[in-house]
Structure 1
Amino acid sequence: MKYQVQVEISLKKGMLNPEASTIQRALALLDYEVEDTATVEIVKFTLEAANPDVAREEVVQMCERLLCNPVIHDYQIQMEAAGD
């Protein structure tokens, strides 16, 4: 069965985020008030697996081995069955 997967990767709370800080300063220069900014990377792909549990475990392995650094990143997985 095929699954549509979306992984959202962000820095863990308390980690410095220079990109978000730069965005916040730029918005302030444009007279926009923003209290908090964060950046999130979104990775989307289709995965084929025997069942949802196997698919989720494969995505977790992808995240922890390749897509992010589990020491500094958090990730959220969204997955749904894809039409064949």
Structure 2
Amino acid sequence: MGFMDSVKAKLAPAKEKVSDLAQQHGDKIDQGLDKAARTVDEKTKGKYSDKIVTGTQKAKDAVEKLSNKDGDTSTGGSTPPPAA
């Protein structure tokens, strides 16, 4: 067993716990990400809006991926919805 295999084996329970929390509180996490993005955008006076939107979407995609235990990705993908 290599070093990385050992690390993966030790972190498996933590990944399951994070997955459970992401599944239970995904909506709250999304709201927190949106609030943080708005705050940062206001503080930077819109200078980095495109980067903030991209980062926020990637974070939401990561939460979605964590919350899908069975690997079902039909509820969302890596493509963000069109801007309104």
TM-score range, shorter chain: under 0.3
Task: State the TM-score, normalizing by the size of structure 1.
Answer: 0.28
Larger % of strand: which? 1
Larger % of helix: which? 2
Higher relative contact order (CA closer than 8 Å, sequence separation 6+): 1
Task: State the TM-score, normalizing by the size of structure 2.
Answer: 0.28
